[in-house]
């Protein structure tokens, strides 16, 4: 199943996304799309922005209430401490509250899940977010604390902090599941959950075209679902051109002799889809599933 859906996406849109199977406690296999690097970066940046806004807002309020009699170093300390607290609470709170999605992840349609399909436990969320501190914020904070244009030792200290942050941030590029260090430790992964709507049924009740069994044996499930995707695309000159092309190919393949007028292309394709799907589903129920046209067709009577 995974293979098939993946092939269709690759053929039509050139999307190559890693997929991973998880088994729910009920024993149902679900395939999940692993989040891309880009999506995760965007989600993180959105969260970062929210966190900065919240921190600025907090200090604005604090500044209004506690303005008098505070020295610079005290303010600085309070700023550092509260932003540290706010940052960790932000990530942990939202991942607990909305099933593994911070606002940034929610906007990009990402979710944190348990890697083996079990329930996502609070401990895992706490662990993966505390590790974020070690991965990025702590070394970067230290890096900015060290004077940059120093001689010898100071330069190397700064470089090692920076190298630490870069090396750990690059970790998702070096494994198939795009895990960062926190995901490794907490046993989680981040997946993409696109929203899909249930569309109308494509199959038609009656049609003018009649296909013979031999003609329907030309294709398998893969070709059928590619055709379905094409038929579900919003109509545009581009889509229409594609329909014409596909229609011509199918006619040639199944030996459809009378030419299909361009205006009736869509009708023809729909009729063919309906007949082909009915045929393949019937075959499937008899235990003769056919993945694509390269598999030998069942030799019926």
Answer yes or no: are the C-beta atoms of 44 and 52 closer than 8 Å: no
Binding string to another protein for residues 162 to 181, with x set by CB under 8 A, is what?
Answer: -------------------x
5 binds another protein, rule: CB under 8 A: yes
Least distance in Å: CB of 263 to another protein? 26
Identity of the residue, 5 or 46, whose beta carbon is nearer to another protein in the bound complex:
5
87 binds another protein, rule: CB under 8 A: no
* From 16, 26, 38, 236, residue interacting with another protein (rule: CB under 8 A): 26
Burial (CB count within 10 angstroms: exposed 0-12, middle 13-18, buried 19+), residue 201: exposed
Residues numbered 136 to 165 that lie near another protein (CB under 8 A) are 138, 142
Least distance in Å: CB of 276 to another protein? 9
Distance of CA 144 to the CA centre of its chain: 34
Residues numbered 216 to 235 that lie near another protein (CB under 8 A) are 221, 224-225, 228-229, 232
- 7 three-class SS: helix
Q: And the tokens for 55?
A: 């921190």
Q: Which residues of 125-145 are buried (b: 16+ CB within 10 A; e: fewer)?
A: bbbbbbbbbebbeebbebbee
* From 152, 201, 208, 259, residue interacting with another protein (rule: CB under 8 A): 201
Taking residue 115's Cβ as centre, other Cβ atoms within 10 Å add up to 18
97 binds another protein, rule: CB under 8 A: yes
Please list the residues that pair with 55 across neighbouring strands: none
| Binding piece for another protein, criterion CB under 8 A, among 34-42, 109-117, 241-249, 255-263 | 109-117
Order of strands, sheet of 19-23, starting from the edge strand that comes earlier in the sequence: 19-23, 29-34, 188-192, 110-114
Q: How many residues bind another protein (CB under 8 A)?
A: 71
* From 36, 83, 102, 131, residue interacting with another protein (rule: CB under 8 A): 131
């Amino acid at each position: 199943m995974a293979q098939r859906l993946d092939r269709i996406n690759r053929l039509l849109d050139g999307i190559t996304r890693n997929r991973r199977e998880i088994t729910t406690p009920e024993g149902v296999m679900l395939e999940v799309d692993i989040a891309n690097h880009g999506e995760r970066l965007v989600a993180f940046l959105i969260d970062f922005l929210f966190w900065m806004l919240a921190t600025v807002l907090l200090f604005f309020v604090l500044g209004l209430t506690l303005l008098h009699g505070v020295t610079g170093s005290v303010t600085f300390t309070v700023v550092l401490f509260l932003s540290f607290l706010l940052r960790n609470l932000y990530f942990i709170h939202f991942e607990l509250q909305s099933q593994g999605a911070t606002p940034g992840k929610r906007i990009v349609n990402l979710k944190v899940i348990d890697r083996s399909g079990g329930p996502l436990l609070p401990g895992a969320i706490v662990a993966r977010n505390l590790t974020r501190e070690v991965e990025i914020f702590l070394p970067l904070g230290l890096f900015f604390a060290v004077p940059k244009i120093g001689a010898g030792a100071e330069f190397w200290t700064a470089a090692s902090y920076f190298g630490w942050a870069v090396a750990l941030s690059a970790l998702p590029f070096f494994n198939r599941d795009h895990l960062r260090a926190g995901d490794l430790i907490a046993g989680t992964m981040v997946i993409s959950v696109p929203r899909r709507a249930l569309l109308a049924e494509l199959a038609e009740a009656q049609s003018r075209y009649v296909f013979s069994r031999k003609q329907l044996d030309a294709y398998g499930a893969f070709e059928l679902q590619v055709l379905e995707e094409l038929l579900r695309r919003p109509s545009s000159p581009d889509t229409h051109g594609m329909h014409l092309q596909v229609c011509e190919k199918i006619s040639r393949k199944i030996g459809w002799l009378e030419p299909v007028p361009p205006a009736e292309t869509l009708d023809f394709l729909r009729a063919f889809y309906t007949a082909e799907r009915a045929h393949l589903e019937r075959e499937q129920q008899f235990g003769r599933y056919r993945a694509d046209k390269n598999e030998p067709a069942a030799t019926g009577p």
